[in-house]
Amino acid sequence: MILDADCHISSHKIDDLAMTADELVEQMDRAGVDKAIVWLKPPYDKNIAPENRAIYEATQKYPDRLLGFGWANPRLGKESTHATIKQCFEEYGFHGIKFNGAQDDYLIDEFAMPFIEQAATYDKPLAFHIGADFYENTHPYRLGRIAARLPETKLIMIHMGGAGTPPLHLSAIETAAQHSNISLIGSAIPERMILDAVKALGSERLCFGSDMPYFYMHVQLAVYRALLRDYAATDVDKVLGGNMASLLGI
Please tell me the predicted confidence (pLDDT) of residue 173: 98
Using alpha carbons only, give the angle 38, 59, 69 rounded to the nearest 5 degrees.
40
Q: In percent, how much of the chain has pLDDT > 90?
A: 100
Q: What is the dihedral of CA 182, 57, 121, 238, to 10 degrees?
A: -30
**pLDDT for 127-175, tens place per residue?**
999 999 999 999 999 999 999 999 999 999 999 999 999 999 999 999 9
Please tell me the predicted confidence (pLDDT) of residue 192: 97
Fold of the CATH domain 3-248 = TIM Barrel (3.20.20)
The span from the CA of 226 to the CA of 48, in Å, is: 37
Backbone angles phi, psi at 6, to 5 degrees: -155, 90
Q: How confident is the model at residue 67 (pLDDT cuts 50, 70, 90)?
A: very high
| Mean pLDDT, rounded, for 18-47 | 97
| Mean pLDDT, rounded, for 74-93 | 98
The span from the CA of 235 to the CA of 126, in Å, is: 24
Closest CA to 54 of 87, 15, 10: 10
Q: How confident is the model at residue 35 (pLDDT cuts 50, 70, 90)?
A: very high
Q: What is the pTM of this model?
A: 0.98
Q: Classify 126 as helix, strand or coil.
A: strand
Radius of gyration of the chain (CA): 16
DSSP string for 170-219: HHHHHHHHH-TTEEEE--SS-HHHHHHHHHHH-TTSEE----BTTS-HHH
Please tell me the predicted confidence (pLDDT) of residue 2: 98
Q: Classify 250 as helix, strand or coil.
A: coil
DSSP string for 78-96: HHHHHHHHHIIIIIS--SE
How do the domains of the chain map onto residue ranges? Answer: 3-248
Q: What is the dihedral of CA 142, 110, 127, 237, to 10 degrees?
A: 20
